[in-house]
A and B are shown apart, each in its own frame.
Chain A
Amino acid sequence: AAGVIQSPRHLIKEKRETATLKCYPIPRHDTVYWYQQGPGQDPQFLISFYEKMQSDKGSIPDRFSAQQFSDYHSELNMSSLELGDSALYFCASSPRTPNTEAFFGQGTRLTVV
């Protein structure tokens, strides 16, 4: 079965650089979520999209932006990277039905040096 695809799987960037993470949801899933998981931490919700519109916003820094495109894939753009942005970034997708399980991609491990 098709799963959530994230790219790249690993990314190394220097401080103050920019990074773009991509997420391709499961077909027919119209909701996409982004989470950030720091080392030894639980995942923290960043932002979500439903039908290409932002549906909820969590603790996402102003340096980050995201969008969902017409084909439902989503991109998380991160600028002026800081060492503290080093984390595992997950994308998850689900159908819109409330309280339906979200399926996670394998994550993008971002390292800022």
Chain B
Amino acid sequence: AQKITQTQPGMFVQEKEAVTLDCTYDTSDPSYGLFWYKQPSSGEMIFLIYQGSYDQQNATEGRYSLNFQKARKSANLVISASQLGDSAMYFCAGGSSNTGKLIFGQGTTLQVKP
């Protein structure tokens, strides 16, 4: 079974600063993927970034990077140069290598202050 934990219910960050959203995982699956999704108040689920368990380097996508520490079982999302439009709920999710279903964490609400 897989478990995803996000311990920060809410975070604040000043516009243009960087912010790190925490995610830890626990899985018995030898091959897994870790995902981050953004959910604005409108409700849609937007894919941000993916890290495979065998990837040697941390994933990056524009202002998003994933700080993957396998020994600590953590996959933290780093957002650089925060923008007001980054205010949203952020979900970390773990993917099953067999069926691809996602197990989500509890989510972190990020508010960017002007």
Instruction: List chain A positions with a Cβ less than 8 A from chain B.
Output: 31, 33, 35, 42-45, 48, 50, 55-56, 58, 88, 90, 92, 94, 96, 98-104, 106-107, 109
Chain A residues lying within 8 Å of B45, measured Cβ to Cβ, are 43, 90, 92, 104, 107
Highest count of chain B CB atoms <10 Å: which of A35, A43, A90, A96: A43
8 Å CB contact of B44 from A42, A48, A56, A104: A104
Looking at chain A's contact residues, the main secondary structure is strand
- Residue positions of B touching A, CB distance < 8 A: 31-33, 35, 37, 43-47, 50, 52-53, 91, 95-107
Closest 6 CB pairs of A and B: A99-B33, A104-B45, A56-B99, A42-B104, A98-B97, A45-B101
Which residue in B43, B46, B100 is a CB contact (below 8 Å) of A48?
Answer: B100
A50 to B99, CA, bound (A): 9
